[in-house]
Structure 1
Amino acid sequence: MYDLPSEEVGEPGLPDEYHPLQAQLLRLTFQPRTYPSEWVFSAMDMNIYYDENNTRRYKRPDWFGVVGVPRFYEGRELRKSYLIWQEGVSPFIVVELLSSSTRAEDLGQTEAEPDGNPTKWQVYEEVLQVPYYVIYDGEQDYFRVFHWEDGCYQELELDGDRLGLVELGLGLRLWRGTHEGLERLWLRFEDASGELIPTEAERERQEKEQAQTALQQLRDRLQAMGLDPDNLPNND
C-alpha cells in the first residue's frame, strides 16, 4: 500500500470547492447500522488499485464506502490507497460527482483505452462488481443509482429521490440544508426510519440547543413559581 502513489503526479484531483465538501458529508454520515464502526471504511478521492499485476491501473472515486474491512489497515494504520488484492473486499457503494470533464466517463460513455486499460464503468461493473454505483449531478440536483445484478448494472427507479440500502440499515437521499456554512441541496445518508444521520458538528450543535432549551424551561418554571432564576436563595 505504501509503495504505490495515492495519486498520479500531474493528474488533477477534486476539481473545485464543492466536490470535497460533498464527498466529506458522505464520509461523515456513512454509518451503517448493520456493521460495527470499527469494520467500516470510507474514503474520498483515494486510489483503488485493482490489478496486482499492473499497478499502473487504478480508479479514484470521489467517494466510496466499504463494509467488512477494518477501519484502519491491519487494525492500526491509516491507508494511503485501497488495494483490492490485500483488502479482499470491494467497495459496497461508490459515488461519483458529475463535472463537465468527467461526465462521459462517469456515465460509461467512453471507450477503453487502446492499451487495454478499462474504463471507470468497466472497473466498477466487471472487475470490482460494486453493488451500488451512484452518480450525483450537483448542478442539476439529481442522482442516479445503478445496482449490480446478474453481472451488469441496472438503473434503479428511486422511491421519492431516496435509495434504500437495506443491507446496511441506511438510506441515501437529497437534503436541503447547511453544511460547512453553505446552504444548498446535498447528498447524504439517513437511517432506515428516514432520520438524518448527523455529523459530529451537527450532533454537538443539537446537544447545545437541547441544553439551552432545557435551561430556558427551568427558568420559566422558576419564574412561574415567583422565583428569580438569577437571584435564587442560598440554602447555605
Structure 2
Amino acid sequence: MPAQQGASMTASRLDAVQKSGVLRICTPGDYRPFSFQKADTSYEGIDVDLMTAFGGSLGAKPEWIKTTWANLLPDLAAGKCDMAVGGVSVTTDRQKRAFFSAPYMVNGKTPIARCADVAKYQTVEQIDKPEVRVIFNPGGSNERFARTNFKRAKLTLHGENVTIFDEILANRADVFVTESAEAITQQKLKPGLCAINPDKPLQYGEMAWMLPRDDVAFKAYVDQWLHLSQAGGEFQRTMDRWLK
C-alpha cells in the first residue's frame, strides 16, 4: 500500500475568495496616497485602485474593513480580512506573524515640518533635541521610529493620522516622520508644510501588502499578479495617477 499522504492541504484564501466573489481588505484608511476614506465612506488611493484590479483578477469585489494601525495585524491574524493594505511598511516584527507580498515600493522615513524650519531638521540628531516637539501616530512603524530614534525630543502621540499635519501647521508640533510618499503628498495638500529630503530618507523602508501567514498559495498568486501588473505597465499607470 502506498504511504499515506500527510494532512490534507490547508484551504487557501485563493479558493475562498474566488468562491465567495468577495475580497475582504483591512485598511486604516487614513494614509494618503495609499488608502484614504472619504467623507462618503468610500476609499481612494494607490492601494484602493490596485486592490480593485487584483480582486477583478479573481472575479471578486473588494470589501473594505476599517481598522487602525494598532489593530491591523491582529485583525488580519484573526481572519477578519484576506489582506491588509494602505501603506504598510515591511518590518521583521510584522513578518513574525504574517506574510508580505513582494515589495512594490521603496519608501523610507522622511521628516515633514513647516517650510520655514526645513534647515533645522535635516537629520535625526538635529530633530532629537529637548526643544523639538515630535508628533507621531500610534500603532505602526512611525511610532516605532520615533520612540527608537528620539530620546531627547518631546514626543507626542496623536491618535488621528488625518489631522496630525494640522498640528504642525498650528505650531503645536514641529516634526512628523513618516514615509516619503506620504510626506510628498501632504506637502501638496497642506501649503506651509515641506517634506525634508524625501529622496534621501532617514531610514530605508519598503511597502508591501500584508497577507495571512502560511497561506503559500495565496501569496504566490498575489506576487505573480503584482509581477505581471508591473511588467505590463498597469501598476506604473496607477502610481503615476497618484504620485505625479
Report TM bin, short chain. under 0.3
Structure number with bigger Rg: 1
Instruction: Name the one with the larger strand percent.
Output: 1
When the two structures are superposed, what TM-score results if normalisation uses the length of structure 2?
0.27
Q: Which has the higher contact order (CA 8 A, sep 6+)?
A: 2
More helix by share: 2
